[in-house]
């Protein structure tokens, strides 16, 4: 036995679908303990999976890392609160942040370690690298890029965080800014496609966990790189792995490329 104390994990948004899966994943992982569950204000004391919800303040004081798959605004506020306390570290899987919320998280990361990602899947993070390489190799004059994503009817932001990550990877490959190249909506007589545009197509319906494809379309061929998520436990396992990694890191804003060791030195 190593004698090392288990990493104490708190789960934010514990009443949500992802929160429940994350909590169950933490329970099943060696070297970790589920220290606290919490959700929006007013839910304290509610029974949940053999325990009771606590306040955010109590949860942050009881853990080494908090994992948050709630809402963008709540995640940004939690980051600032944790930063003011000097901890704990955070793993953030929420998406749809406003520019100000992004600034708030970046500011919080000056005091605590934050791993923030639009997708915690190993496969998706491998896909990001492939998309960047393909975009670098396939000339914009010959190949149009379209990012397609589909999610369940309850998802409130679009394009998804993962779709935006894939678009950003394509933009890096072409050495352009995504904001300058992105084409997010088409309606009516739009005219021909702009050269070099990175398009986004979105579907919402049913219980789709997550489907993402990046299409490189030329006049004479189509290349499609894609990923399909079959179960939310995929993302929970990645987030829990990120929490284990974040527990030993200095303050800073990280993503899954850091956790997986993909970041170039």
Strands (E), 79-221: 89-92, 113-116, 144-151, 182-183, 198-204, 210-217
Residues 108 and 23 in one domain: yes
Residues 75 and 162 in one domain: no
Residues 70 and 99 in one domain: yes
The answer to whether residue 1 is domain-embedded is no
Considering its fold, how many domains does the chain have in total?
Answer: 2
The answer to whether residue 2 is domain-embedded is no
What global pTM score does this model have?
0.79
**89: CATH:** 3.40.50.720
Residues 144 and 213 in one domain: yes
Residue 264 has pLDDT above 60, yes or no: no
Residues 132 and 91 in one domain: no
The answer to whether residue 55 is domain-embedded is yes
The catalytically annotated residue of 116, 151, 212, 227 is: 151
pLDDT tens column, 138-190: 999 999 999 999 999 999 999 998 999 999 999 999 999 999 999 998 899 99
Q: What range defines the domain where residue 179 resides?
A: 122-229
Residues 84 and 208 in one domain: no
Q: How far apart are CA 243 and CA 58, in angstroms?
A: 19
Residues 107 and 237 in one domain: yes
116 is catalytic: no
pLDDT tens column, 64-121: 999 999 999 999 999 999 999 999 999 999 988 999 999 999 999 999 999 999 889 8
Length of the chain equals: 265
Residues 204 and 247 in one domain: no
Give 261 or 100, the one with higher predicted confidence. 100
The answer to whether residue 264 is domain-embedded is no
Task: Give the mean pLDDT of 2-24.
Answer: 92
The catalytically annotated residue of 116, 152, 155, 212 is: 155
Q: What residues contact residue 231 under an 8 Å CB cut-off, 6+ apart?
A: 209
pLDDT tens column, 182-199: 999 889 999 999 999 999
């Amino acid at each position: 036995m190593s004698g090392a104390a288990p990493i104490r994990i708190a789960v934010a948004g514990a009443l949500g679908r992802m929160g429940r899966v994350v909590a169950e994943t933490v329970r099943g992982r060696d070297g970790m303990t589920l220290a606290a569950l919490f959700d929006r204000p007013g839910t304290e004391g509610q029974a949940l999976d053999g325990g009771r919800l606590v306040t955010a303040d109590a949860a942050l004081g009881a853990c080494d890392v908090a994992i948050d798959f709630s809402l963008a605004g709540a995640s940004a506020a939690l980051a600032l609160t944790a930063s003011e306390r000097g901890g704990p570290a955070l793993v953030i899987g929420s998406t749809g942040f406003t520019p100000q919320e992004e600034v708030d998280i970046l500011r919080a990361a000056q005091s605590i370690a934050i791993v923030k990602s639009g997708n915690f899947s190993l496969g998706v993070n491998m896909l990001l690298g492939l998309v960047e390489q393909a975009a670098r190799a396939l000339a914009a004059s010959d190949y149009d890029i379209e990012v397609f994503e589909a999610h369940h009817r309850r998802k409130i932001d679009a394009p998804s965080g993962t779709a935006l990550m894939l678009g950003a990877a394509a933009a890096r490959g072409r050495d352009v800014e995504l904001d300058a190249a992105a084409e997010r909506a088409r309606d009516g007589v739009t005219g021909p496609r702009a050269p070099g545009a990175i398009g986004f197509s979105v579907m919402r319906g049913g219980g789709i966990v997550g489907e993402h494809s990046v299409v490189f379309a030329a006049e004479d061929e189509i290349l499609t790189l894609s990923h399909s998520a079959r179960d939310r436990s995929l993302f929970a396992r990645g987030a829990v792995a990120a929490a284990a990694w974040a527990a030993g890191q200095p303050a800073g804003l990280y993503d899954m490329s850091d956790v997986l060791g993909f970041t170039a030195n």
